[in-house]
Amino acid sequence: MSGTSGLLQLWQVPSSSLFFGRSKGLYLVPVRVMYPMSCFCKQMQTTTYAIVKGSYVSNPQNQQENKEKLTPKVENVGAFQKLPMVMPSVDILHSALRKAKRVSPTKGIANAAKRERNKGAKQIDALMKELAVPLRTYKENFPNKKYLHPYERSLIELTLGDGNYEDVLGKLEALRKKVVSVGKEHASLCAKSLSKREAEERLNEGLKRIEEIFDGDGKAVDELLNIAKTLRAMPVVDLETPTLCLVGAPNVGKSSLVRVLSTGKPEICNYPFTTRGILMGHINLSYQNFQVTDTPGILRRADEERNNLEKLTLAVLTHLPTAVLYVHDLSGECGMSPSDQFVIYKEMRERFSSHIWLDVVSKCDLLQASPVIFATDDCNVDNFELVRYRKMGPDGALNVSVKNEIGLHELKKRVYELLVSQSERIKNQQSKEEELEVPS
């Protein structure tokens, strides 16, 4: 046997089973001894490879699995309720200064200059950390917008303004880096002081400089505080609970119906856009709990011309699995003509055709024999569907009056049936998702 092959065979034998015994002469002879062996493995490589044109190529399935591990999962709704409590910038600064000034020098330093140098560097470092740590905590615990649920992402953009959320978090991170940089610089200068007096001066300069920076740029913390208050006040939607969404033109009576149907108590006034945000209530019908949302009114105009209140309504319909209760007012009391309401209704019905739908004509006690026609309406219109809509609304619409309590019992019955259907739809969707998640 050659020396190379002998070494190869020896290398292949597990180290735990080799024992070198002395034989006659000066040579060591390997002797196999069997010992119980324990094997500890932190992580096993499970990547498989395929040979392509003489080269090893990673299996695409493994690449996809690794990509899924590295990609953060999109959050479910409810991220706003997990936001950390943000302290006002003044409180953070005063607390940090108070704690930093309590820091004492390391014990056992006899030389006064060295002791003051040590104390100054430690106090500046302590102030830097007391300010930087909460800033880093806020940055890490406020969610990245792109990983939020699409509904909550829309709420941030429409409520805070597009880009404002990221801008404030960016200012916060810039402030943290500035505090750390200046703090390290002044701590180093203080540690290099040649006398006690110089150390005291550099300590005061460092503390003053960091305080000025935080005092000037700390408004980013207060902006984040206001953002947190605004986002926590947003209604929480449970995606697994059937939700009824009331939609229609402004001032058609949606809020009055929410009061009748649910625990929600929206403001009711006789002017457009009374509802200035998404209002959430709950319905208890036949011992079952459901959700109901009152949304801002929709006007007749193109999407690019809509205000943020209208866009909130579209965001709810787009991103949440809701049943729709569409409210029509043919009495003329809402300030929008039935003809314009018809155009909006047709657009919404076509855009959100996948939703379960119920049409309601409100204020039916004010309806007259002849339809209401505004001066801007075309009286000679040939659209039979529009002519019929002006008189009685869409096919199958339910007439109700909150004031005279007309049709409310039937409305509650129809709403219950609608939400039960929505509940079945949610369960079916969940079953399909679970089937897709089960590995084949």
pLDDT band at 178 (very low <50, low <70, confident <90, very high): very high
- Model confidence at 366, in pLDDT bands (50, 70, 90)? confident
Give the pLDDT confidence score for residue 38 in this predicted structure.
46
Residues 6+ apart with CB under 8 A from 326: 246, 247, 248, 345, 348, 349, 357, 358, 359, 360
Tokens coding 282: 């709950």
Mean pLDDT value across residues 231-244: 86
Identify whether 63 is part of a domain: no
Which H or E run includes 245? strand 243-248
Where is mean pLDDT largest: 27-41, 57-71, 76-90? 76-90
Q: Classify residue 207: in a domain, yes or no.
A: yes
Query: Is 68 inside a domain boundary?
Result: no
167: confidence class by pLDDT, cuts 50, 70, 90: very high
Give yes or no: residues 120 and 187 share one domain: yes
Q: Stretch 286-297: mean pLDDT, rounded?
A: 87
Structural domain of 21: 3-32
Question: What is the mean predicted confidence (pLDDT) over 353-373?
Answer: 84
pLDDT value of residue 259: 87
Each residue of 135-156: pLDDT tens digit? 999 999 999 988 899 999 998 9
Position 20 in a domain? yes
**Of the ranges 158-162, 352-356, 390-394, the best mean pLDDT one:** 352-356
pLDDT band at 406 (very low <50, low <70, confident <90, very high): very high
Per-residue pLDDT, 225: 96
| Confidence at residue 283, expressed as pLDDT on a 0 to 100 scale | 84
Coarse DSSP helix, strand, coil percentages of the chain, rounded to the nearest 5 percent: 50, 10, 35
Pairing mode, if any, of strands 322-328 and 279-285? unpaired
Specify the residue for token string 């208890």.
284
The domain boundary, picked from 206, 232, 258, lies at 232
How distant, in Å, are the alpha carbons of 146, 192, 283, 406, 417 from that of 250?
A: 32, 69, 23, 22, 26
Cβ neighbours for 252, distance < 8 A, ≥ 6 positions apart: 297, 327, 328, 329, 334, 336, 341, 362
Question: Is 317 found in the same domain as 170?
Answer: no
Which of 270 and 422 is assigned the larger pLDDT?
Answer: 422
The whole-number average pLDDT for the span 103-131 is: 94
CATH number at residue 220: 1.20.120.1190
Put simply, whether the predicted model's pTM sits higher than 0.75 gets the answer no
| Average pLDDT over all residues of the chain | 82
Asked if residue 214 and residue 169 are part of one domain, the reply reads yes
For residue range 8-31, list pLDDT tens digits in order.
344 444 444 444 454 444 444 454
Shared domain for 252 and 129, answered yes or no, is no
Residue 398 pLDDT greater than 60, yes or no: yes
Beta-bridged to residue 49, according to DSSP, are 58
Which pLDDT band holds residue 65 (cuts at 50, 70, 90)? low
What is the spatial distance between Cα 150 and Cα 242, in angstroms, rounded to a whole number? 18
pLDDT of residue 13: 45
- E-state strands within 8-120: 18-22, 28-32, 49-52, 55-58
Report the number of distinct structural domains present in the chain. 3
Is 274 a residue whose pLDDT tops 70? no
Write down the pLDDT at residue 233: 85
Tell me phi and psi for residue 346, to 5 degrees: -65, -40
